[in-house]
């Protein structure tokens, strides 16, 4: 082997940062044939680093510093349903179905997602053509309906009305 070839093979790997990275720096190393290959000790860009925080898993309420919601009583549920005419109690969930025009559907869904994120509470959403079915319950309350659900239901009804959506009666 020629001395200049041995030096080329034994040269140290160069380091360079390529795009946003969480964790250690991505390094460029020389692979077979002197070609540069990427070796990464970090989480790839676009992939969230997930895992339990030190001390174990925490609920949304613990992160926000609030007390978990308690299930509504039968009287509270009856009162909430009178204030939410588009919603029904079905199989332990607060449910509704709205018809939204095809052109308004993307805007409705985007507004719905933003409202859910703001509330820190999310509905089970089913979209079939122009029909959007929603079901709400609170996992932290054992799958029961809570005030978080009724508040989000009222917001969703307003969003549907803003986007020309009408409630489907069943």
Q: Return the CATH number at 155.
A: 3.30.1360.20
Is 145 in the same domain as 89? yes
Q: Into how many domains does the chain fold?
A: 2
Q: What's the pLDDT at 4? A: 56
Domain that holds residue 28: 3-39
Question: Among 54-63, 114-123, 125-134, where is mean pLDDT lowest?
Answer: 54-63
Cα separation, 90 vs 8, in Å, equals 71
Region 9-20: mean pLDDT is 50
Residue 48 within any structural domain of the chain? no
- Buried residues in 126-142 as b, exposed as e (16+ CB within 10 A): eeeeeebbbbbbbebbe
Shared domain check, 100 and 26: no
Residue 42 pLDDT grade (very low, low, confident, very high; cuts 50, 70, 90): very low
Burial class (CB in 10 A: 0-12, 13-18, 19+), 83: exposed
Residue 157 counted as domain residue: yes
Would you state the pLDDT for residue 103? 95
Q: Which residue has the tokens 């949304």?
A: 60
31 and 77 together in one domain: no
Asked whether residue 65 is assigned to any structural domain, the reply reads no
**Residue 54 domain-assigned?**
no
The confidence score (pLDDT) of residue 169 equals: 78
- pLDDT (average), residues 17-22: 48
Domain contains 132 = yes
Q: Identify which has the larger pLDDT, 23 or 143.
A: 143
Q: What phi, psi does 48 have (nearest 5°)?
A: -70, 135
Check whether residue 17 and residue 100 sit in a common domain: no
Within a domain: residue 52? no
158 lies in the same domain as 81: yes
**Tens digits of residue pLDDT in 57-111:** 545 554 554 556 899 999 999 999 999 999 999 999 999 999 999 999 999 999 9
Residues 91 and 152 reside in one and the same domain: yes
Query: pLDDT > 90: what percent of the chain?
Result: 57
Is 53 inside any structural domain? Answer: no
């Amino acid at each position: 082997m020629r001395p200049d070839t041995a030096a080329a093979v034994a040269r140290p790997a160069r380091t360079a940062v390529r795009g946003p990275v969480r964790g250690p720096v991505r390094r460029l190393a020389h692979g077979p044939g002197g070609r540069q290959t990427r070796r990464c000790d970090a989480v790839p860009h676009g992939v969230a680093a997930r895992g339990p925080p030190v001390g174990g898993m925490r609920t949304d309420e613990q992160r926000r510093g609030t007390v978990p919601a308690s299930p509504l009583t039968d009287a509270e549920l009856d009162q909430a349903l009178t204030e939410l005419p588009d919603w029904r109690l079905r199989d332990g969930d607060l449910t509704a179905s709205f018809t939204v025009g095809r052109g308004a559907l993307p805007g409705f869904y985007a507004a719905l997602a933003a409202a859910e994120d703001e509330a820190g509470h999310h509905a089970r959403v089913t979209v079939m053509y122009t029909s959007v079915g929603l079901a709400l319950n609170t996992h932290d309350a054992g799958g029961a309906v809570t005030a978080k659900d009724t508040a989000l239901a009222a917001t969703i009804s307003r969003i549907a009305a803003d986007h020309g959506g009408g409630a489907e009666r069943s």
